[in-house]
Structure 1
């Protein structure tokens, strides 16, 4: 069961509440499903309910709730995940996140394009933080 030293790197750089949410949910999921991928997915799902990934860490969302169609549809949905981006947020919020992540061309992007560009920027920042 993960302690603070075993948290994913992005959560180590995140608020204590995000860390606590992951650890508590992961431990409960391990009790229910056993150690492994399902426990990790369940824990990240709980984090995504209250936090969104911005760059190389997680930040509290303005409004709690599912962050994308996958989270809203549950385990059996075929919908794609947005990788921690709050795809249900308004376009202005997404533009603000894109601005903070220095996404070029953001003012001409649709909401779906912003979500994808933020996902790529998040992955880039996470790689950079690990490097």
Structure 2
């Protein structure tokens, strides 16, 4: 289980594990099984720092997840890019993102991605 999922609540861990096991049965062990499990997790959870937290509303987290073929669009690395600017700003406050008050929604998404990567790297030390 990825460390970011292991640091998340029990339901997030169960979701990832159940989908991953099913994907392994269907596709075999490997990258595709992990991507499938993360895609399912991102439907109801968003990455906040070094772990995953439940979203207020389930749904696709970015344009790639919303795409029927999942090949087009950008991924937001676990950040719920469909959330309101106010929600993203609140997360930026929690993660102490500098300059957040002047950022657009897209800039907040990018800054949160970077903050999440830093928090995950720090937790792995």
TM-score range normalised by the length of the shorter chain:
over 0.9
Distance (whole Å) between structure 2 residues aligned to residue 76 and residue 67 of structure 1: 12
Indicate the RMSD between aligned Cα atoms, in angstroms. Answer: 0.8
In structure 2, the residue matched to 1:33 is 27
Partner residue of 1:63?
57
Shift of 1:77: 2.4
Q: Hey, what's the Cα distance between the residues in 1 that align with 2:24 and 2:6?
A: 20
User: Which 5+ residue runs of structure 2 have no aligned equivalent?
Assistant: none
Following the alignment from structure 2 to structure 1, what is the Cα–Cα distance between the partners of residues 69 and 34?
A: 13
Runs of 5+ in structure 1 lacking a partner? 1-6
Aligned to 1:121: 115
Size of the aligned set, in residue pairs, is 125
TM-score (norm. length: structure 1): 0.93
TM-score scaled by structure 2? 0.97
CA shift for structure 1 position 34: 1.0
The counterpart of 2:3, out of the listed 9, 13, 23, is 9
Whether 1:80 aligns to 2:47 is no
- Segment drifting more, 77-86 vs 94-103: 77-86
> Secondary structure at 2:96's aligned position in 1?
coil
Shift of 1:78: 2.1
SS at match of 2:77: coil
1:82 counterpart SS class:
coil
Q: What's the secondary structure of 2:46's corresponding residue? A: strand
